[in-house]
């Protein structure tokens, strides 16, 4: 069979649709869409666009994450046009600028009342209502055409547009997908705003491998609990995460003892990945974790590095530049060196800035090697082909993975009448504004005026969280600001707080101390709002897990958002409404029965029993869940003992299903554990794959408890793999995770708790 060749991103789509039209392309919490359905919807959009606009037109996209957004992108590209992604949370002024600057011919939105187009934009709204999905259109797939215009923060005071070609982005996506080892079984979590270039790996790379994109509803991407639930519910295998969010996911998993075993690949990018984050994340997943590097100007990722636990380093390097990407590090003398600014051949990146003025100084003509190089402004040191990031040669910073040019924020600040001078620095992952004011209003009123002015112009992540006022900003002899001395000048921090009440109870005092440590100030009261004190969403997620662990309550991100004060959080914790290990309230669960007495199956159990008996043609029940647990120090007897102890301590694992459609809990049950020694003549992985295929077809005997068993596979190096086969009659998805977590914890030396169950089936999940 000849492997398909791809010269453009659009060809990913046409191939995926023709190769597997009935495969699942996209899923939400409520339904799934096939590639055929995606094609029909996007075809209607493509036909509508071609009827109004010529090929090559630029089309704005302003929609919340949905199937319609996914279809809109592919409809635009199929029509031979260029999409201009925008975040639905952008302020009106920024939307207007992008649409005008990109010279967009139309804007697609999912609700025509969502935004009002300015008359000066001469825009047209293309609705999705009454689209003819059977309408014909001329499919266009031009590798040299522009695929997108991405807008990022610009030093001139306005966003800058980056033009990217189809062929260049296609090559970068293919390189990265091959590096990660993705295929058509990969399931991606579509959660990143499409205005952020990293989102292309959640929908374009998914299309390249013919996988499935699973949506996370807009607004949930900052909540680690929602992310973990989505990963688990959708069985996500491929995940992109900004390192700061990965840190919060790891902390959530640790506090709640949740494993993310569906994941196969995680790649982190957008900001520095600390080794401490790697060490915290990897114990809760079997996925391969990679530090990666790229950006809009590179048309994607250009380097990556596999991560390991326990490496003696503070920051993980970006790794090796991928094969086929021409690059060089140049020192201050513009000579090749082991330490210098990264320059990348534009023949690879295929990108340029929309405005010629922005291109000046960023592109170097290398006549000796007949190439043009793009100046990244990123400084690296190279050791044995591995690149470590040292810093920027300009002022650009990353805030929660988003690129921010302080010059753009400063330009907006200086446009406020009350501001006479301004500087913006990145400190502790936040933007800090240093301002000189005209003195016509009090400090707090002044900061509120400035904040409101910025909210009308900038996305939330570009608005400073910390406000410092000073009488003057230090300058260099050239007249430019001396950014190295700004932090040393006499400043006073201004909080938008109005409360002066200090904590009274011990709990309030402890929460107040946690806030003070994060905010670097104690000049606030117990009724002040966290965000008005300079707190940001990433800190909310981290603090939620810290307080959950400290006080033994299962606080959620949403709990914090609803109770954003010290007093509110203390009251919630003291109320006892948030127990860490609360039982789930299950409708229709059978009443408690003595363990040796039969009681009815739940309706869900009955459906499982009927379906599986029909499917297998026997009274046995097919195995429907399969887990692999890697152990560093293999001990067969220890594995047997732990699984038996877990079964002995958990009555619901000893369920026996009777032929008459009832069930009872056996007083004891011997766990079935066997050891499998691979044939020495074949590789371990080959042998293990053969075993997997055999076990996936295995039938568990209904008449014997427990309805799970284990196969242990030792390796020559002293490690091993434990394969657990479980049945949904007693173990739903969450129950299986609990079982795996209990085994992992016990194998590490933790004590096994006794779980007193009231009824079967979901009891194990409730614990």
Token pair of 459 as six digits: 């996305």
Pick the most confident of 111-125, 139-153, 421-435, 605-619: 139-153
DSSP secondary structure, 674-697, as one string:
EE-PPPTTS-HHHHHHHHHHHHHT
CA 187 to centroid of chain Cα atoms: 13
Q: Report the pLDDT value the prediction gives residue 12, as an integer from 0 to 100.
A: 92
pLDDT at 574 over 80: no
Distant-in-sequence, close-in-space partners of 478: CB < 8 Å, separation ≥ 6: none
Q: Which residue has the higher pLDDT, 692 or 183?
A: 183
Q: In the predicted model, is pLDDT for residue 523 greater than 70?
A: yes
Chain segment 356-409, per-residue pLDDT in tens: 767 777 777 887 888 888 888 888 888 888 998 887 766 677 676 677 777 788
Closest CA to 204 of 323, 85, 372: 85
Residue 580 has pLDDT above 60, yes or no: no
Mean pLDDT over the full length of the chain = 80
Asked if 156 and 408 touch (Cβ cutoff 8 Å), the reply is yes
pLDDT score, position 263: 94
For the cut 80, the answer to whether the pLDDT of residue 549 exceeds it is no
**Which has more confidence, 524 or 762?**
524
Q: Band of the pLDDT at 174, cuts 50, 70, 90? A: very high
- For residue range 34-70, list pLDDT tens digits in order: 999 999 999 999 998 998 899 999 999 988 888 888 9
The CA distance from 7 to 279, in Å, is: 39
Choice between 20 and 602, residue whose per-residue pLDDT is larger: 20
Q: Which two tokens stand for residue 140?
A: 């266009």
Helix (H, G, I), strand (E, B) or coil at 61: strand
How far is the C-alpha of 165 from the C-alpha of 145, rounded, in Å? 6
Query: CB-based contacts of 423: which residues, under 8 Å, 6+ apart?
Result: 406, 410, 433, 434, 473, 481, 483, 486
Higher local confidence (pLDDT), 506 or 697: 506
pLDDT value of residue 505: 86
Flag whether pLDDT at 588 surpasses 50: no
pLDDT value for 3: 54
* Residue 765, pLDDT score: 32
Q: Pick the closest to residue 180 from 215, 205, 210, 198 (CA basis).
A: 205
Distance of CA 522 to the CA centre of its chain: 33
pLDDT band at 605 (very low <50, low <70, confident <90, very high): low
Structural contact between residues 412 and 423, judged by C-beta atoms closer than 8 angstroms: no
Average pLDDT score over residue span 319-326: 90
Is it the case that residue 13 has pLDDT exceeding 70?
A: yes
Helices (H) and strands (E) in the chain, counts: 23, 36
Query: Regarding predicted confidence, which is higher, 621 or 269?
Result: 269
The pLDDT score that the predictor gives to residue 620 is 45
Per-residue model confidence as pLDDT tens digits over 706-728: 888 889 988 888 888 898 887 77
Least confident of 76-80, 133-137, 238-242: 133-137
Among the ranges given (426-435, 509-518, 712-721, 728-737), the one the predictor scored with the smallest mean pLDDT: 728-737
Tell me the C-alpha to C-alpha distance, in Å, between residue 592 and each of 601, 754, 759: 13, 18, 5
Of 110-119, 160-169, 654-663, which has the strongest mean pLDDT? 160-169
Among 482, 492, 539, residue whose Cα is nearest residue 248: 539
8 Å CB contact between 207 and 171 = no
567 by DSSP, 3-state: which? Answer: helix
% of the chain at pLDDT higher than 90: 20
What's the pLDDT score for residue 603? 55
For residue 736, pLDDT over 50 is answered with yes
Q: Give the model's pLDDT for residue 121.
A: 41
What is the model's pLDDT at position 84? 94
More confident residue, 257 or 17: 17
Strand order in 655-657's β-sheet? 599-600, 662-665, 655-657
Radius of gyration of the CA atoms of the chain, in A: 29
Q: If you search the block for the tokens 């195995």, which residue do you land on? A: 623
Domains and CATH numbers, the chain: 9-306 (3.40.50.12780), 409-493 (3.30.300.30), 506-574 (1.10.1200.10), 599-766 (3.30.559.10)
Report whether pLDDT(758) > 70: no
User: What is the DSSP track for 422-435?
Assistant: EEEEEETTEEEEEE
CA–CA gap between residue 234 and residue 226 (Å, rounded): 12
Lowest mean pLDDT of 281-295, 340-354, 471-485, 578-592, name the range: 578-592
pLDDT, one tens digit per residue, over 90-132 is 888 888 889 999 999 988 887 643 554 443 343 444 455 567 7
Conformational region of residue 705, where left means phi above 0, alpha means psi within -120 to 50, and beta covers everything else: beta
The single residue listed with the structure tokens 């102890």 is 645
Residue 148 has a pLDDT of 92
At 750, the pLDDT band (50, 70, 90 cuts) reads confident
Which pLDDT score is estimated for 481?
76
Write down the pLDDT at residue 127: 53
Instruction: In whole angstroms, give the CA distance from residue 573 to residue 526.
Output: 15
pLDDT-above-70 percentage for the chain: 83
Name the range with the highest mean pLDDT among 211-225, 536-550, 569-583, 691-705: 211-225
Residue 266 has pLDDT above 50, yes or no: yes
The per-residue pLDDT for range 606-655, each reduced to its tens digit, is 656 665 554 444 444 444 567 788 888 889 899 998 998 888 888 778 88
> DSSP readout, 95-119?
HHHHHHHTT-SEEEES-TTS-PPPG
Does the structure show a pLDDT above 90 at 432? no
DSSP character for 414?
A: H
In a 3-state reduction of DSSP, which class is residue 22?
Answer: coil
| pLDDT at position 733 over 70 | no
């Amino acid at each position: 069979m000849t492997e398909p060749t791809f010269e453009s991103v659009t060809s990913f789509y046409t191939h995926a649709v023709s190769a597997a039209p009935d495969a699942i392309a996209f899923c939400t919490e409520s339904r799934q869409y096939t590639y055929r359905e995606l094609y029909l919807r996007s075809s209607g959009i493509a036909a509508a666009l071609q009827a109004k606009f010529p090929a090559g037109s630029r089309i704005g996209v302003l929609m919340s994450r949905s199937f319609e957004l996914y279809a809109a992108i592919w409809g635009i590209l199929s029509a031979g046009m260029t999409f201009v992604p925008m975040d639905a949370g952008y302020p009106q002024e920024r939307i207007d600028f992008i649409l005008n600057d990109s010279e967009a011919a139309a804007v697609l939105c999912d609700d025509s009342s969502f935004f009002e187009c300015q008359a000066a934009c001469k825009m047209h709204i293309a609705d999705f209502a009454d689209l003819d999905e059977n309408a014909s259109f001329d499919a266009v797939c031009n590798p040299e055409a522009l695929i997108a215009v991405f807008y990022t923060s610009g030093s001139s005071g306005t966003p800058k547009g980056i033009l990217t070609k189809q062929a260049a982005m296609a090559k970068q996506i293919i390189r990265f997908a091959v590096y990660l080892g993705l295929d058509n079984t990969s399931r991606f979590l579509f959660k990143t705003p499409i205005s952020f270039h990293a989102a292309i790996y959640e929908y374009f790379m998914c299309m390249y491998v013919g996988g499935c994109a699973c949506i996370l509803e807009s607004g949930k991407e900052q909540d680690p609990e929602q992310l973990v639930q989505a990963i688990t519910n959708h069985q996500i295998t491929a995940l992109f995460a900004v390192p700061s969010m990965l840190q919060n996911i790891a902390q959530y998993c640790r506090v709640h003892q949740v494993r993310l075993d569906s994941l196969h690949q995680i790649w982190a990018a957008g900001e520095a990945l600390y080794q401490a984050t790697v060490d915290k994340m990897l114990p809760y997943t079997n996925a391969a974790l990679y530090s990666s590097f790229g950006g809009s100007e590179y048309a994607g990722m250009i380097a990556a590095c596999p991560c390991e636990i326990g490496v003696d380093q503070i920051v993980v390097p970006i790794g090796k530049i991928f094969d086929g990407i021409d690059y060089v590090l140049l020192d201050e003398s513009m000579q090749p060196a082991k330490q210098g600014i990264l320059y990348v051949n534009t023949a690879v990146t295929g990108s340029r800035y929309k405005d010629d003025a922005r291109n000046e100084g960023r592109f170097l003509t290398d006549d000796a090697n007949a190439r043009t190089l793009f100046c990244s402004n990123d400084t690296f040191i190279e050791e044995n082909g591995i690149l470590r990031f040292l810093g920027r040669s300009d002022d650009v910073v990353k805030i929660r993975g988003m690129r921010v040019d302080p010059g753009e924020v400063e330009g907006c600040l200086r446009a406020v009448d009350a501001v006479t001078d301004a500087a913006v620095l990145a400190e502790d992952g936040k933007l800090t504004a240093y301002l000189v004011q005209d003195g016509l209003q009090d400090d707090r009123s002044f900061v509120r005026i400035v904040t409101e002015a910025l909210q009308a112009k900038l996305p939330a992540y570009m608005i400073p969280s910390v406000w410092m006022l000073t009488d003057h900003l230090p300058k260099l002899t050239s007249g430019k600001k001396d950014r190295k001395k700004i932090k040393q000048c006499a400043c006073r921090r201004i909080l938008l707080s109005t409360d002066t009440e200090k904590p009274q109870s011990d709990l309030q005092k402890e929460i107040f101390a946690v806030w003070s440590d994060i905010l670097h100030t104690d000049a606030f009261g117990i009724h002040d709002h966290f965000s008005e004190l300079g707190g940001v969403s990433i800190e909310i997620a981290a603090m939620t897990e810290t307080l959950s662990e400290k006080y033994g309550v299962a606080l959620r991100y949403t709990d914090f958002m609803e109770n954003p004060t010290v007093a509110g959080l203390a009251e919630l914790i003291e109320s006892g409404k948030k127990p860490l290990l609360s039982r789930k309230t299950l409708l229709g669960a059978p009443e408690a029965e003595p363990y040796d007495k039969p009681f009815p199956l739940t309706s869900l159990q009955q459906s499982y029993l009927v379906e599986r008996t029909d499917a297998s043609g026997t009274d046995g029940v097919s195995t429907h869940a399969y887990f692999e647990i890697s152990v560093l120090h293999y001990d067969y007897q220890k594995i047997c003992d732990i699984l038996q102890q877990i079964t002995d301590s958990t009555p619901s694992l000893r369920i026996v299903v009777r032929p008459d459609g009832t069930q009872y809990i056996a007083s004891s049950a011997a766990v079935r554990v066997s050891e499998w020694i691979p044939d020495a003549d074949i590789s371990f992985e080959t042998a293990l794959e053969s075993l997997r295929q055999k076990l996936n077809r295995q039938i568990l005997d209904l008449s014997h408890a427990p309805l799970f068993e284990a196969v242990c596979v030792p390796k020559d190096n002293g490690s091993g793999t434990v394969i657990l086969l479980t049945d949904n009659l007693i173990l739903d998805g969450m129950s299986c995770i609990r079982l795996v977590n209990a085994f992992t914890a016990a194998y590490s030396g933790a004590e096994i708790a006794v779980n007193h169950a009231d009824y079967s089936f979901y009891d194990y999940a409730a614990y």
